[in-house]
Amino acid sequence: MDELTSGIVAGNRRALSRAITLVESSRSDHRARAVALLSELPDRKALRIGLSGTPGVGKSTFIEAFGKLLTGQGLKVAVLAVDPSSTRSGGSILGDKTRMELLSRDPNAFIRPSPSQAELGGVARRTREAVRLCEAAGFDIILIETVGVGQSETLVAEMSDLFILLLAPAGGDELQGVKRGIMEIADLILVNKADGDLLLTARRTVADYAGALRLMRKRAYDPPEFPKAVPVSAYTGDGLEKAWENMGYLANWRREHGHFDRRRAEQARHWFLAELRAGLLARLEEPTTRQELHRLGDAVARGEISPGHAASQMLEQLGQG
Amino acid sequence: MDELTSGIVAGNRRALSRAITLVESSRSDHRARAVALLSELPDRKALRIGLSGTPGVGKSTFIEAFGKLLTGQGLKVAVLAVDPSSTRSGGSILGDKTRMELLSRDPNAFIRPSPSQAELGGVARRTREAVRLCEAAGFDIILIETVGVGQSETLVAEMSDLFILLLAPAGGDELQGVKRGIMEIADLILVNKADGDLLLTARRTVADYAGALRLMRKRAYDPPEFPKAVPVSAYTGDGLEKAWENMGYLANWRREHGHFDRRRAEQARHWFLAELRAGLLARLEEPTTRQELHRLGDAVARGEISPGHAASQMLEQLGQG
């Protein structure tokens, strides 16, 4: 264990990979070791940037170009994914690191696909711990990427300091396609593909979203010009530096006004409760419990006992009655 | 308690209302009484019809007209709601029974608004128990209505024998607005407002949805012509009888082929697990636990202990370590 800890602290990539595999495991002995490891590690603070974008907006190209911009400035960048769809396909969107060929070969970058678990909450919890590991390994920027599916964006926002929405240029009608709830958690909207034939459309889309953002309630903890929308081109690189400047400005503003740490504290409290709930529910996965669950479930299915009554019986057996 | 039980079995509406209030309560003594009550009640089987429709499709008007059609045939009809939005507004979409003036005054109808709880899962669980109470009280048809928000449709489908989707007439483009997952759980799509100026649009919409339904995988447990789409007008009453015939035909087909009872058995098993999970998590709501949760949460927020470590400590204290 100590070897793993010191390896991570030294920035050893193999140690980091092994540690992430450890926190992703649901075996109870692995879990105990993971908890111990996370408690031992020093508390280094990276900037955590959540990034959401549906397939087709050019997210891989953006991460590649943006990641290279950051490593070019001497920053160490880790890319993690929260992808509920990867649990279905068995693979992962980031599994094909080939789509980020340059970045994946960059010694200052670390790319890790989404853990494959059946349940989004589990993926999110494990990713949050992977964030901590990457921070302890000395990464400066943690990009946490997700596809815009179900609750995944909210979960990523809950582990990020900044939440970025990557969108494609589109007609005004499609603006409605972005859920209001997502607009409300976005700190910065990047309209990608602002190049070539799509440049004008992208600019119009930026204006559309800027208008929509202005209509939303201002946040007490942000400078008045945020959240904002800007155009970028992951392909030509145009706008990437300006996007990064905006992120830095917002992060610094929050740091100076005490909001940065306050948000982190709130997030930590949130994840404590999430871990606790998951721990309680884990009891149902124990072999002896599963057997009894099956037996009672069959009785319920046959109508011999009501669902609520069976649940009470089971809770009593678990010492929770 | 016996008075409440006998009152429900006798079809006494006040007893039924009181019992529903009891199952909606989250107080632990109320919960114990609710579980006992539900176990005592006889197992009568009504036809449970889930109904989803977003605001503006004329859902209240439909329920009013469809409910009156059913009571006109001598059937007793209960209307329950699963409405996550009512928890936010503090009220309930069905709170204004005035929108179903005729039905709410019908002695053979019973309308109950959505329980106001913070969490959709809780609303769904309580509604499922309210369904059981209405059945025990002798209702023949239980209409469980919901707005198309988040997971509410899936939850309603999980407590229904038939799941109906009420839609408004629309251009072909808007067909995409209905999530594929919802199309897949719908047994019957009703395109409302098939009257006056909208008649042709409604017919075209029916054809669009019929086409979309044909492209989906057939279900082994349904007759080949289902799921289907038909036009209705809640305003003129046109199509309502035919819609009801379709529901009856499908329900009978499933009964004759054993699918009706098999689905009920699966649903009961599902709700047993849902109750069990809720029961485990309820421990966190106990006063002494809440105090300790607060103390540990503060320590986590101050960074004195990691979220995972704090969760482990808490689980140990709960005898779950």
Residue B22 above 80 pLDDT?
Answer: yes
The mean pLDDT value for B87-99 works out to 49
Average pLDDT taken over every residue of chain A = 88
Average pLDDT (A49-59) is: 89
A116-130 burial code (b ≥16 CB/10 A, e <16): bbeebebbbbbbbbb
Mean pLDDT to the nearest integer, A190-198? 94
- In the prediction, which pLDDT does A144 show? 95
Chain B residue with minimum CA distance to A34: B308
Domain ranges of chain A: 1-41, 43-257, 284-320
pLDDT, residue A171, reads 65
pLDDT digits (tens, 9 = 90+) for A72-99: 999 999 999 887 665 444 344 444 556 7
Q: Which residues of A touch B296 (CB under 8 A)?
A: 272
Chain A partners within 8 Å of B38 (Cβ): 306, 308-309
Q: What's the confidence (pLDDT) of residue B97? A: 57
Is residue B84 over pLDDT 70? no
Share of chain A above pLDDT 70, in %: 91
Nearest Cα to Cα of residue B218 among B206, B204, B228:
B228
- Reply yes or no on whether the pLDDT at A139 is more than 60: yes
Torsion sign, CA atoms A210, A216, A218, A222: negative
Residue of B nearest to A272 (CA): B307
Using a CB-CB cut-off of 8 Å, the residues of chain A touching B265 are 301-303
Contacts of A300 in chain B (CB under 8 A): 268-269, 271-272
Q: pTM of the prediction?
A: 0.72
The Cα B20–Cα B288 span in angstroms is: 29
Residues B62-81: what's their mean pLDDT?
96
Decide if pLDDT at A295 tops 90: yes
Min Cα distance A277 → chain B (Å) is 6
Structure confidence at residue A90 (pLDDT): 39
pLDDT bin (cut points 50, 70, 90) of residue B113 is confident
Query: Which residues on chain B are in Cβ contact (under 8 Å) with A295?
Result: none
More confident residue, B24 or A122: B24
A45 pLDDT band, cuts 50/70/90, is confident
The answer, yes or no, to whether residue B304 has pLDDT greater than 80, is yes
Among B35, B132, B308, beta carbon nearest to A38: B308
Q: How many CA within 13 A on the CB side of residue A48?
A: 26
- Residue in B38, B269, B276 nearest the CB of A315: B276
Pick the more confident residue, A208 or B122: A208
ipTM: 0.81
**Which pLDDT value is given to residue A92?**
44
A218-242 mean pLDDT: 92
Is it the case that residue B301 has pLDDT exceeding 60? yes
Q: Quick one: pLDDT at residue B118?
A: 60
**Chain A residues close to B314, C-beta within 8 Å:** 276, 279
Q: How does residue B91 score in pLDDT terms, banded at 50, 70 and 90? A: very low
Pick the CATH number of B43-257 from 3.40.50.300, 1.10.390.10, 1.10.1380.10, 1.20.1560.10: 3.40.50.300
Beta-carbon contacts of A268 under 8 Å, excluding residues fewer than 6 positions away, are: B300, B301, B303, B307
Q: Say how far apart CA A8 and CA A19 lie, in whole Å.
A: 8
Strand B47-52: give its sheet, edge to edge.
B109-112, B77-82, B141-146, B47-52, B162-167, B188-191, B228-231
* Closest CB from A129, A281, A301 relative to B265: A301
**Higher per-residue confidence, A1 vs B153:** B153
User: For A131-135, A301-305, B79-83, which range has the lowest pLDDT when averaged over its residues?
Assistant: B79-83
- How far apart CA A118 and CA B287 sit, in angstroms, is 33
Which of 3.10.50.30, 3.30.70.100, 1.10.10.10, 1.20.5.170 is the CATH number of A1-41? Answer: 1.20.5.170
**Most confident segment among A142-151, B91-100, B173-182, B297-306:** B297-306
Give a three-class secondary structure readout of A114-139. CCCCCCHHHHHHHHHHHHHHHHHCCC
Band (pLDDT 50/70/90 cuts) for residue A217 is confident
Contact B309/A39, CB-based, under 8 Å?
yes
Q: What is the pLDDT of residue B170?
A: 82
Higher pLDDT, B156 or B54: B156
B305 to A35: CB separation less than 8 angstroms, yes or no? no
| Residue in B34, B265, B320 closest to A280 by CB | B320
Separation in Å, CA of B35 to nearest CA in chain A? 6
pLDDT tier at B171 (50, 70, 90 boundaries)?
Answer: low
pLDDT at residue B99 tops 80: no
Are the Cβ atoms of A129 and B277 closer than 8 angstroms? no
Tell me how far CA of residue A9 lies from CA of A36, A130, A184, A275, in angstroms.
Answer: 15, 14, 36, 25
pLDDT value of residue B88: 40
* Contact criterion met (CB < 8 Å) for A38 and B306: yes
Nearest Cα of chain B lies from the Cα of A264 at a distance, in angstroms, of 8
Rounded to 5°, angle at Cα B59 from B238 and B223:
65
- Least reliable range by pLDDT among A102-111, A144-153, B131-140: A144-153
Q: Which tokens in the block code for residue A268?
A: 């930590």
pLDDT at A138: 96
Q: Which residue of A has its CA nearest to B295?
A: A269
Does residue A27 have a pLDDT over 90?
Answer: no
A38/B266 touch (CB, cutoff 8 Å), yes or no: no
